[in-house]
Chain A
Amino acid sequence: MNFKMRWQLARKNLIANKIFNVPFVISSSLLLGIFYILLSLLSNDYVQHRHPALPQLLSLAAIVIAILSVIFIFYGNNFTMKNRNQELGLYGILGLEKKHIAGIFFLESFILYIITFLCALINGFILGKLSFLTLNYLVKDYTSSLQNYSFDSKAALITLLLTTGIFILLFIITIFKIGLSSPMQLFNKQKSGEKPPKSNKLIGILGIILIGIGYFLAIHQKALPLTQSNISLLIRNFFIAVLFVISGTYLTFISGSILILKSFQKRKNYYYKPKNFLFINGMLKRMSSNAIGLASITVLSTGIILSLVTPLTAAMGLTQITKEAMARDYSASLHVPLNQKIASTQEFEKLTDKLKQQVLAVYPKPSDIKNMNLNVSTMIPGNFKDNKFITIDPTNLDNISYFIIETVDQTNALYHDNHKLKANEIMVASNHISAQRFFSKKQKVEFMGQKFTALPLGHLVANQDALNAYRIIVPNWETLVKAANYYNNYQESKNDESRALASAEISLNWDSKLNLEQNSHYLSLISDHTIDQQPIITTTTIDIKNSIYEMNGGIIFIGLLIGISLLVGNILIIVYKQFSEGFEDRADFKIMKNVGLTPQLINQTSRKQILWLFFLPLIIASIHALASSNIIFMLLHLFGVNDFFNLMQNFGIVMASFTVIYILVFAITSKLYVKIVK
């Protein structure tokens, strides 16, 4: 058998099997393309000099994508090979030796390998430019342009190595299969898929129990005080819940679904109705041959939803917190002991005026400064228990909380709000989840030992201020001083002299249209001065903000890439599943027609089955995702997300867009299915 002949056979086979090969090449080249993108970004100079956390995140993502690529490509190849068993058997019967068959398959694999790799590079390069721009947009860097991203030969080489490795493995597996079986075995293997549904009650029940435990763990996860050990506990709980739900999903699809359907068969008056009869038997057949595929689609869909929602919400939360906590770019602040002298509003105003004059004095023009506002706050340790704000117990410093006390005037100025507080009213927000839930409604509380009404505060508490902080807005400066000293008064000594005075931070914040360099110069001029022997401390938040935005952008970007990879794998599985069902259904439809089923009824029931099979994974994935929302919220809390509604909103957006894509894929693959059946 010469090369020309082999080449022609290989070429013909590739074309004859294009229904399998085209989706295979598209999906594997997309996955490998994404792998290339991550690698090329990783070694990109520009990216490397950005946020130090970015390369680390990107390399982690590259490993995940590589693993996913291997899994999906093997799945696709396995599916193609299963449908080619008969062809293989035929070669044997026609007298081709195994080495000839291996030769043909080598050529086929080689052509596929070259095409896949080239497509992966093209995909990678074009999508890479696109993702580079996206990444830059997400990290709020508008200065970089396409020139900063060029073809990366090192990334291409690593992608080539991965592709080569995968295809060599695939080829070895194929050769192994050819070598082991006789032509007749291969010939008959293709039909052996149709076995009557078998189920094991124990496995089915176990599956449902496992999902139940996973859900229980996820839903009953309580908000924990934020400590390092609690964080790792939370992450551990999350992974345990995920493992339970994944294994439960597989077992339930494999066995539970058949148990449920069989229980319908026992209700004879329901079962022996034409539509139910065909539907239940059809579902049994599909479930028994597609359970693993369906479970995989469900798990992947859940993964897609979570891998998009979580980073999106985390980044949004971080951005919002950053905006709230660092509402202005520059600030000058004074540390003020809250003694008797300063307790009156007049004295306070005198002091703030001095600070304001000092700042205005260094800038050449008043118009260089905009959005100036005054922020006064004091941070005192304290506890909130049984609706009472109490002083801490100095003998027990575990579970300590902090009160950040501000006046309503400054809050109004900062956020352009117009709140008015009566003498016995305060507004409260907390970064502790259960407390935040408590204070999202009007509450009666005890504050400074007196009855107060606590109104909800629409603005959040930044996690970076303190773990477990309460932001308390009081009606006026006098109350602030009183409250600060009240809660600072936890020392046991009754002696006035020995008590440390509480102190507050008065800071003047502003934005400026001058650039960072000029502003830094003016800030240093301001910090040369003192007011009442207190130094003026100046800061800029621009650097911190930028680094947070970069981090956020990186997180969203990686979530997007992983989400897209899972989506590609998911689509691949759906496409192959529709194919295999099309082939299986073709024979049965003929029999049913002969027995006297109307074509309408056949079409109707098969459409109903396909719809069910199609939407079942989507529905279960959505339930999984929603069941996870509580523990996800607890995890996101680490990133400063305090708003459950925000998370649910993102769930809604992601699930809606995912459903649209899912329906599109369904519409396209259904057409292929109809083609196969007819």
Chain B
Amino acid sequence: MPLLTLKNIQKIYGSKLTPKIEALKNVSFTVEEGEFIAIMGESGSGKSTLLNLIATLDTPSAGEIILNETPLHDLKSSDISAFRRNKLGFVFQDFNLLNTFTNRDNIYLPLVLSGFKPNEMAERLTKIAPTLGITEILDRYPYESSGGQQQRVAIARAIITQPELLLADEPTGALDSRSSKMIMNLFQTINQQGQTVLMVTHSTKAAAHAKRVLFIKDGIVFHEIYKGDDSYLTFMEKINEMQILLDQGGVNNEL
């Protein structure tokens, strides 16, 4: 049984009065536990829509999403927040940290909402803080931390709940190349420790850290490639080639 299953997902925006936009036509794929998947596509390809649907921030017009045997459309609206908090972790492009909370309290936020005790939270944080390299900045405010540091705090907030699936939306989009590399290495490390990661990006460099890359174009999954035993650079070249092919519209082996 895969961790995440998407079956014939369709998403249409618009109402009776406005012209309809089909953001996702028909998307199906599965994610196994322990995978690290990058979803690539250009702006407007529907990749962010896809992530929002999995994140329960939006609902599909048709089709089914199942996370660990729970069909998302079965969730009651009152349970959605708790579900999001306990089963999913989020990393955003612009970090989404609350400036008036210390870094530590930003990380604790989902745990506090789930009713954890202070010592339990501290225990969990001590486990992950060294890997992320944020031990020194915990009592500072996001405002006083660099972009790379803020994103690492955001990752800590996402994984401290030990989510079944970690979702990342352009996690390196607002960072310089050095910080980006550090963040992507971190994602790899976290994945090696057993965390399933699903990331949306249009950066080839970032995507090359994943184990599998899905390409989305015009609302459908056009193609996918596996890293397998390729080196980072080889995989990156393959991704590049695939993007050029997609641009020319030359790939016909739809999934």
Contacts and interface: CB of A to CB of B under 8 A. Distances in A.
Contacts of B85: 595-596
Interface stretch (B36-44, B67-75, B97-105, B202-210): B97-105
Contacts of A195: 99, 143
Interface stretch (B2-10, B108-116, B126-134, B174-182): B108-116
A597 B110 CA distance: 8
Contacts of A595: 84-85, 90, 96, 109-110, 157
A592 B112 contact: no
A197 B98 CA distance: 13
A590 B98 CA distance: 10
A589 B57 CA distance: 14
Interface residues of A, number: 27
B100 A197 contact: yes
Contacts of A288: 100
B112 A196 contact: no
Given A272-B116, A277-B105, A588-B98, A594 B92 contact: yes
Most B CB contacts (10 A, CB to CB) among A282, A594, A601 go to A594
Contacts of B113: 274, 277, 596-597, 601
Given A269-B118, A595-B85, A281 B90 contact: no
Contacts of B105: 277, 281
B189 interface: no
Contacts of A269: 117-118
B78 interface: yes
A591 interface: yes
A273 interface: yes
B90 A285 contact: no
Interface string A248-282: 00000000000000000000110111100100011
Most B CB contacts (10 A, CB to CB) among A194, A271, A272, A282 go to A272
A162 B27 CA distance: 69
B66 interface: no
Interface string B84-95: 111010101000
B100 A598 contact: no
Contacts of B157: 595
A588 B141 CA distance: 15
A314 interface: no
B118 A268 contact: yes
Most B CB contacts (10 A, CB to CB) among A268, A269, A595 go to A595
Interface string A595-611: 11111010000000000
B141 A196 contact: yes
A284 interface: yes
Contact of A597 (B81, B100, B144): B81
Interface string A279-301: 00110110010000000000000
Most A CB contacts (10 A, CB to CB) among B84, B100, B115, B121 go to B100
A598 B101 contact: no
A592 B86 CA distance: 14
A274 B99 contact: no
A270 to B, nearest CB: 10
Contacts of B244: none
A596 B96 contact: no
Interface in A399-429: none
A68 B117 CA distance: 52
Interface string A95-136: 000000000000000000000000000000000000000000
Interface in B4-63: 57
A192 to B, nearest CB: 10
A273 B81 contact: no
B213 to A, nearest CB: 25
B82 interface: yes
A196 B100 CA distance: 5
B82 A284 contact: no
A591 B100 contact: no
Given A596-B85, A597-B81, A274 B112 contact: yes
Contacts of A197: 100
Interface string A563-605: 0000000000000000000000000101110111111010000
Given A194-B143, A273-B112, A277-B105, A596 B84 contact: yes
Contacts of B102: 196
A281 B113 CA distance: 14
B99 A196 contact: yes
Contacts of A196: 99-100, 102, 141, 143-144
Most A CB contacts (10 A, CB to CB) among B86, B88, B113, B141 go to B113
Contacts of A591: 96-98
Given A272-B112, A594-B92, A194 B99 contact: yes
A420 to B, nearest CB: 73
Nearest to A194: B99
Contacts of B97: 591
A277 B114 CA distance: 12
A594 B113 CA distance: 13
B99 to A, nearest CB: 5
A281 B100 contact: yes
A281 B100 CA distance: 7
A594 B143 contact: no
Contacts of B109: 277, 595
Contact of B101 (A273, A281, A596): A281
Contacts of A273: 112
A150 B57 CA distance: 65
A592 B110 CA distance: 9
Nearest to B109: A595
Given A194-B143, A281-B100, A594-B92, 12 more contacts: A269-B117, A274-B113, A277-B108, A277-B113, A281-B101, A284-B100, A288-B100, A588-B98, A588-B100, A596-B110, A597-B113, A598-B81
Give 3 nearest A-B pairs by CB, closest first: A596-B85, A196-B141, A285-B100
11 contacts: A194-B100, A272-B108, A272-B117, A272-B121, A273-B112, A277-B109, A284-B100, A588-B100, A595-B84, A598-B78, A601-B113
Interface of A: 194-197, 268-269, 271-274, 277, 281-282, 284-285, 288, 588, 590-592, 594-599, 601
